[in-house]
Amino acid sequence: MYHFFAKHENIFDHYILIDGEDVNHMKNVLRMNVNDKILISSGDNIDYHCYISKIENDTIIANIELIDEEGKELPSKIYLFQGLPKADKMELIIQKAVELGAFEIIPVAMKRCVVKLDQKKEDTKLKRWNGISESAAKQSKRSIIPNVSNVMTYKEAIEYAKKLDIVLLPYECAKGMSETKRIISSIEPGISIGIFIGPEGGFDMSELDIAINSNFKVITLGKRILRTETAGLMILSVLMFELEGKI
């Protein structure tokens, strides 16, 4: 079943109006017809099971058959603070983070980041990154489209993360898997979670000190050294497994 998102103002009691780029995609790419069933999400964790009742030039009308108010989101919002990686690794990270349940992805310019984005490049990248997030949300049947925020400095990211209930910082020199397991297992549904991932060169010691002084939880992901594009996805997978289905 194909999955789409609709604006709140287009959702009515018994039907949903689809407009914009989705209309062309549904008509000319997917070749959809009247009575075809589709899944539509509102972006606030409510899903609508629908069937197409009318296809017009610029709009499509989908009648609502069933409303799922539970949605498919994790019981906790997870914020991934990702140190800017090289090449197109950020695209892979965003795609997989969305599939694994991240609520928001925050690109962070850290001291050891090789990539430096000027305003023009950042605007172009952000548009593409949010497009990737939307595509991944549709593919994985998310009930929301996770936002990819503007690139933050490390200081800005720290301040942003302070509003969260718990912040995890995987560090290659950290030890004590039993303590890491204890921290993960103690996370209850409903609390907000931050994950800080360093770039290819890792965290600068001054950045690590700031995180520790901000009461972030420095954890280990095991004895092996993980690449920046692997570390965040690994801890997201663990959190998804820990939180999925908890009430």
Side-chain half-sphere exposure of 131, counting CA atoms within 13 A: 7
**Assigned CATH class of 2-68:** mainly beta
pLDDT tens-digit series, residues 72-119: 899 999 999 999 999 899 999 999 999 999 999 999 999 989 888 888
Domain-wise residue ranges, the chain: 2-68, 78-243
> SS3 of 212, please?
helix
The reported pTM is 0.91
133: tokens are 């997030």
Whole-Å CA distances, 25 to 22, 31, 46, 98, 172: 5, 8, 23, 22, 45
Is 136:145 a contact under the CB 8 Å cutoff? no
Instruction: Let me know how long the chain is.
Output: 247
Fold of 78-243: Alpha/beta knot (3.40.1280)
Give dist(CA 142, CA 81) in Å, integer. 20
pLDDT of 135 reads 95
pLDDT of 140 reads 95
Give dist(CA 62, CA 27) in Å, integer. 13
Give dist(CA 71, CA 85) in Å, integer. 32
pLDDT of 171 reads 87
Strand partners, 64: 50
Helix or strand (DSSP H, E) at 239: helix 228-243
Q: For residue 18, give the nearest of 31, 134, 66, 3 by alpha carbon.
A: 3
Backbone torsion region of residue 141, taken as left when φ is above 0, otherwise alpha when ψ lies between -120 and 50, otherwise beta = left
- Give average pLDDT by consecutive 10-residue segment, the chain, 247 residues: 93 95 94 96 91 95 94 93 94 98 97 86 93 95 95 96 96 82 91 96 92 92 90 95 81
pLDDT of 4 reads 95
DSSP annotation of 172 reads T
